[in-house]
Amino acid sequence: MLDEVISSLNLRPGYTVLDATVGGGGHAIEIIKKICPGGRLIGIDADVAALARAGETLQSFAGSCRLIHDNFRNLDVILDAEGVQKLDACLLDVGISSFQINDGDRGFSFQHDAKLDMRMDLGLERSAWDVVNRYKEEDLAELIRNYGEERFARRVARYIVNERREKTIDTTEQLRLLIHKALRLRRGRIDPATRTFQAIRIEVNDELRALEEGLKKAVEHLAPCRRIVVLSFHSLEDRIVKNTFKAYAARGDLKIITKKPQVASDRERVSNPRSRSAKLRVAERI
């Protein structure tokens, strides 16, 4: 939803913009084109591999951008260090990226057999392996139910715990097959392992609490009459964005531009299947 994102940010030359999840720089380079000359982009990402790609993408605009390895939940500290008091626009494209899904060594997806990792920031101590092999059964069931919205979370957790009594669960393929066994290969629109993998990834990266913290800080750093755009990819994220915007609107601090979230066009859904679950919300600081 690149066009929708850029138009919603309402950019002008000279703006200072935060791309809080810069990824490979796809949004960032279009933002810089709109805010130059005189503009400045600050890009944050927890994934050093993503920052390296962004650096290559934005090489021609190196003088107009600053790329920082950190989690966007710390954006207040980052902006203070950069001498930025107010933002003219902010973008959060949250969740997992296509690059991370397609990286066979990171263990984000069961499409590739890899070590259980799922860390966006490789400096994190806890990986997916730790969650799967060390969490208590009741804790596993709770996070799979809450973060994966899996109806049979307790059953999946029980199978995981029983399996690891015999041997550790080391790879994505081991875990996928175990979940299939637990759910007896229930057929549906998505693979039966999808919800559990999502839950474990969210737990490893503390994604929902980071979104809550970072989103509030972003709103508070937004200048009057300036916009924040959030692109989310599952209901848990979208609920946080919706409720946060509503809370600030009730206080008279935000005007909600998108009464209902924008979704990808039929054409984009065909060319970019990941966009099928995308929801775009926009708000403006009062």
Q: Fold for domain 108-205?
A: DNA polymerase; domain 1 (1.10.150)
Chain-wide mean pLDDT for the chain?
A: 94
- Within this chain, domains 2-99+207-285 and 108-205 share the same CATH topology: no
Q: Exposure of 166 by Cβ count < 10 A (0-12 exposed, 13-18 middle, 19+ buried)?
A: exposed
Per-position DSSP letters for 54-74, written without gaps between them: HHHHTGGGGGGEEEEES-GGG
Q: Using the 8-state DSSP alphabet, how is residue 115 labeled? A: B
pTM metric for this prediction: 0.93
Look up residue 45 and give its two tokens: 């990402």
Let me know how many helices (H) and strands (E) the chain has, helices first. 13, 7
pLDDT tens-place string over residues 151-186? 999 999 999 999 999 999 999 999 999 999 999 865
pLDDT at 186: 59
The ranges assigned to domains in the chain are 2-99+207-285, 108-205
pLDDT tens-place string over residues 11-34? 999 999 999 999 999 999 999 999
Diameter over CA atoms, the chain = 62
Helix (H) or strand (E) holding 13: none
Top-level class of domain 2-99+207-285 = alpha beta
| C-beta separation of 137 from 161 below 8 A | yes
What sign for the dihedral angle of Cα 192, 198, 203, 204?
Answer: positive
3-state SS, residue 136? coil
Share of the chain above pLDDT 90, in %: 85
Q: Which residue intervals of the chain are DSSP H helices?
A: 2-9, 26-35, 48-57, 75-81, 98-102, 128-134, 137-148, 153-166, 172-182, 194-205, 207-220, 235-250, 266-271
Look up residue 130 and give its two tokens: 């730790």
The closest of 286, 278, 257 to 93, measured between CA atoms, is: 278
Residue 117: CA atoms inside 13 Å, Cβ hemisphere, count? 18
